[in-house]
Amino acid sequence: MPRGDTVVDFNNVLGGFLRNDLAIYVHWPWCKAKCPYCDFNSHAGMPREEEYVAAVCAELAWWRAQGLGERRLVSVFFGGGTPSLMRPASIARILAAVAPLGRGLEQAEITVECNPTSSSLALFEGLRAVGVNRVSVGIQGLEAAHLGFLGREHSVGEALGTLEAAQSVFSNVNADVMYGLPGQDLAGWEALLGRLAAMGLAHLSAYQLTVEKNTAFYSAVKRGAWQPIDSDSEADFFDTTLRVLEAAGYVNYEISNFARQAKHGVMACAHNLHVWRYGDYLGVGAGAHGRVRLADGKRVATAVVRQPEGYLLKNCANGEMFAEWKEIDGARGIQEALFLGLRLREGVDEAWLQKNAAAGEWEHAVDLAELRRLEEKGILQRRQGRIQLSHAGWARLDGVLGRILRRLPESEYQKRPHVFIEPQLN
């Protein structure tokens, strides 16, 4: 099996927090330009690469000093923002700081998110030379009008050229694409999917365009410049995606994610799969979130200060970078496992969760009557100790979660010396 490729064993899915696997998410918060639909923690400023990389390495050293136990490193994911703006030497420095956190970095999936405006064959070769084995390229579309609407600063030719260059270096390449743009037609979408599938990409992420608050698109929709598509059209786009990609040999292992069935297994994204299975991951870099079990057995949810300038003011070596640090109790843990795991076709290991819950915790977290009702309606399936959404439930995830997860009181931030409030920066 090529290094970094993922074989998804759908029969061996225990709650990730039982295992010692650890993934690392590294956030890079800068982009060349801010896209009008995007509410990620991404900023069109001048990257302060040297300082930033030093801060990330200091965070990783801080985590190492926490003694997280014997861990197997399964993934390092450089997400953004646009991490393809980083020099491969910076990636190498960060990977060197990751290595002491566990064993097996040599076998781990190491992904970098790339934008066609900052990618080239030379960059991909440089990334491979420092240990990267997977890239995820945001192409978004293959029609000039769509790229223009999305404010993308690359052409269709550049998008395709970037994918070809990536595939000439890596066997594990993902493309991000979006559907549900106003005026987009199904025939064009089908042609796009067919073209990408014919390229033999390992993975495709097909996202429905969502209009997020605090974006230029949100203001445009509010003033009536255009309307998002209706839910019937959404379903048509999703059904088309499923039909075309399944016929081309892809497995829809998560709502928006499709992995090619290869000889040695399904080429799913090991990183995202680990997170959705509720495995432990550290989130380092501005605004990154994490979930990790500490040496004392408690599991915490962490979030790093979001603004890059505020983050760079922190002394990460002393663990000053957190904007949030919350302990996850049993009921919240069950809810998070369902919230994440129901996105997956394989669903959630209900039997394991119940077995490991303290008395009354399962009932406290889950509305059992609603669960049964949704099962009777065919929206949920409960089989062999697992809960999964049925095909009919697939498009209704938000509604399902809203019904089965009981409202829990907001947990207090833990009082610990290194929790600081993010400074307000304009």
CB nearer to ligand SAM: give 158 or 367: 158
DSSP string for residues in 60-105: HHHHHHT---S-EEEEEEEEES-GGGS-HHHHHHHHHHHGGGSB-G
DSSP 412: P
Structure-token pair, residue 324: 């949030």
CB nearer to ligand SAM: give 39 or 375: 39
CB nearer to ligand SF4: give 80 or 131: 80
CB nearer to ligand SAM: give 207 or 413: 207
189 alpha-carbon distance from chain centroid: 23
Three-point CA angle 162, 90, 133, nearest 5°: 50
Q: Within 292-351, which residues bind ligand SAM (CB under 6 A)? A: none
Smallest distance, ligand SAM to C-beta of residue 41, A: 9
| Element (DSSP H or E) covering residue 288 | none
* Alpha carbons 153 and 155: distance in angstroms, whole number: 7
101 alpha-carbon distance from chain centroid: 21
Q: Site for ligand SF4 (CB under 6 A): how many residues?
A: 11
Phi, psi angle pair for 308, to nearest 5°: -55, -40
Length of the chain: 426
- 172 near ligand SF4, judged by CB under 6 A: no
- 219 near ligand SAM, judged by CB under 6 A: no
Q: Return the residue nearest ligand SAM (CB atom).
A: 138
Q: Within 18-57, which residues bind ligand SAM (CB under 6 A)? A: 31, 37-38, 40
- 81 near ligand SF4, judged by CB under 6 A: yes
Smallest distance, ligand SAM to C-beta of residue 201, A: 14
- Chosen from ligand SAM, ligand SF4, none, partner binding at 119 (C-beta under 5 to 8 Å by type): none
Phi, psi angle pair for 255, to nearest 5°: -40, -50
Residue 368, Cβ density class (10 Å: 0-12 exposed, 13-18 middle, ≥19 buried): exposed
CB nearer to ligand SF4: give 154 or 293: 154
- Chosen from ligand SF4, ligand SAM, none, partner binding at 279 (C-beta under 5 to 8 Å by type): none
- 138 near ligand SAM, judged by CB under 6 A: yes
- 63 near ligand SAM, judged by CB under 6 A: no
CB nearer to ligand SF4: give 42 or 133: 42
- Chosen from ligand SF4, ligand SAM, none, partner binding at 34 (C-beta under 5 to 8 Å by type): ligand SF4
- 40 near ligand SF4, judged by CB under 6 A: yes
- Chosen from ligand SF4, ligand SAM, none, partner binding at 6 (C-beta under 5 to 8 Å by type): none
- 31 near ligand SF4, judged by CB under 6 A: yes
CB nearer to ligand SAM: give 140 or 335: 140
Q: Which amino acid makes up residue 150? A: L
The SS3 call for residue 282 is strand
Closest CA to 196 of 184, 178, 210: 178
Q: Within 120-139, which residues bind ligand SF4 (CB under 6 A)? A: 138
- 82 near ligand SAM, judged by CB under 6 A: yes
Residue keyed to tokens 């979001």: 306
Torsion sign, CA atoms 338, 341, 347, 351? negative
